[in-house]
């Protein structure tokens, strides 16, 4: 869970292209149209208001779309610092504008191939607390055996009884959660194929999300993914983290293995 940022932090947000309203990495006709759609046709709020403030007036209004079109088509001045070309800071005095998402200025996604692993594992650790999820995978490991097969071990969380050793719960909505190990089994061919599809071309960030420079993030459950010596996280402020929704996709895959019959 994320703490609400203070106004000076919002105003001093880093890493955006001024004029890039839609966050695609370019300042072009679509950005002016996106601004107009937001203002007059019920379009979504800009994910980065600082970027949408093309003329750096301190607010997002019609003049920003006009400024963009003049720059693009009549030789007008380019959007002020950090400008339309490079990601950078807002250099004006705090204006109350900020960013929920910085689009193409987020750290670059790189491709990783983890299909040749000897052992994959997932575990969860607490941030400033822990949030148990009853019935969900808690730990998992998949081992590539010498004969070429893959063996699976899973544990899940179940509701505990009085007197059980319970996991801590910072939220307080689970009276007691304890870990139960399921019966180990081998993976079937279809499961192996699905796993290889997930692990062959993974999107990975090697830097924390830039929003972590501004907002205090207080997670209560951090997923730790490991392929042999390669360790990645689902926490957006980790400096080696899985891209986009990949962590949830892998977790969904492991949940499907939990529910599947032994093959």
Per-residue pLDDT of the chain (263 residues; tens, 9 = 90+): 333 333 334 444 457 899 999 988 889 999 999 999 999 999 889 988 999 999 999 999 999 999 999 999 999 999 999 999 988 877 776 677 878 776 777 777 788 999 999 999 999 988 877 788 888 999 999 999 999 999 999 999 888 877 777 776 656 666 788 889 999 999 999 999 999 999 999 999 888 877 776 666 778 889 999 999 999 999 988 989 998 789 999 999 999 998 776 54
Which segments of the chain are extended strands (E)?
14-16, 88-89, 109-112, 119-125, 137-144, 150-159, 177-181, 185-186, 202-205, 222-227, 230-233, 241-242
Residue 183, classified by CB atoms within 10 Å of its CB into exposed (0-12), middle (13-18) or buried (19+), is exposed
> Measured in whole angstroms, how far is the alpha carbon of residue 138 from the centre of its chain?
20
pLDDT for the residue 177: 82
* Token duo for residue 49: 């208001």
Inter-CA distances, 206 with 2, 42, 109, 166, 213, Å: 21, 36, 8, 35, 15
SS3 assignment, position 89: strand
CA 69 to chain centre: 33
Write the pLDDT tens digit of every residue in 174-199.
678 888 999 999 999 999 999 999 99
Other residues' Cβ atoms within 10 Å of the Cβ of residue 138? 22
What's the rounded Cα separation, in Å, for the pair 226 and 120? 6
**Which residues neighbour 21 within 8 Å (Cβ) at sequence distance 6 or greater?**
31, 32, 34, 35, 38, 46, 48, 51, 52, 54, 64, 68
Residue with tokens 């319970």: 166
Q: What does DSSP assign to residue 213?
A: G
> How confident is the model at residue 4, as a pLDDT?
36
Instruction: State which fold the 7-105 domain adopts.
Output: Type 1 dockerin domain (1.10.1330)
Rounded CA separation 241/260 (Å):
28
Strand ranges in 19-136 using DSSP code E only, listed in sequence order = 88-89, 109-112, 119-125
Sign for the pseudo-dihedral over CA of 181, 183, 189, 190: negative
Cα–Cα distance measured from residue 126 to residue 248, given in angstroms and rounded to the nearest whole number: 17
In terms of DSSP H, where are the helices of the chain?
7-11, 29-40, 49-52, 62-73, 189-200, 246-259
């Amino acid at each position: 869970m994320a703490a609400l940022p203070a106004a000076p932090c919002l105003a001093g947000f880093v890493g955006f292209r001024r004029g890039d309203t839609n966050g695609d990495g370019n300042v072009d006709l679509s950005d002016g149209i996106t601004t107009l759609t937001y203002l007059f046709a019920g379009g979504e709020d800009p994910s980065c208001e600082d970027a949408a403030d093309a003329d750096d007036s301190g607010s997002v209004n019609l003049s920003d779309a006009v400024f963009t079109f003049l720059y693009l088509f009549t030789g007008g001045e380019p959007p002020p610092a950090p400008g339309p070309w490079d990601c950078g800071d807002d250099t004006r005095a705090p204006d109350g504008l900020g960013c929920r998402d910085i689009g193409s200025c987020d750290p670059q996604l790189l491709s990783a191939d983890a299909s040749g692993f000897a052992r994959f594992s997932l575990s969860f650790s607490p941030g400033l607390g822990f949030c148990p999820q009853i019935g969900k995978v808690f730990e998992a490991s998949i081992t590539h055996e010498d004969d070429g097969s893959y063996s699976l071990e899973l544990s899940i969380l179940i509701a505990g009884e009085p007197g059980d050793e319970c996991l801590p719960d910072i939220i307080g909505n689970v009276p007691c959660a304890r870990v139960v190990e399921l019966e180990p089994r081998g993976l079937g061919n279809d499961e192996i194929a699905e796993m290889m599809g997930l692990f062959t071309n993974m999107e990975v960030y090697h830097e924390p999300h830039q929003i972590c420079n501004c907002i205090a993030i207080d997670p209560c459950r951090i997923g730790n993914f490991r392929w042999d010596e390669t360790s990645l996280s689902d926490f957006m402020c980790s400096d080696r983290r899985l891209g986009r929704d990949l962590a949830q996709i892998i977790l969904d895959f492991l949940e499907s293995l939990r529910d599947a019959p032994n093959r």
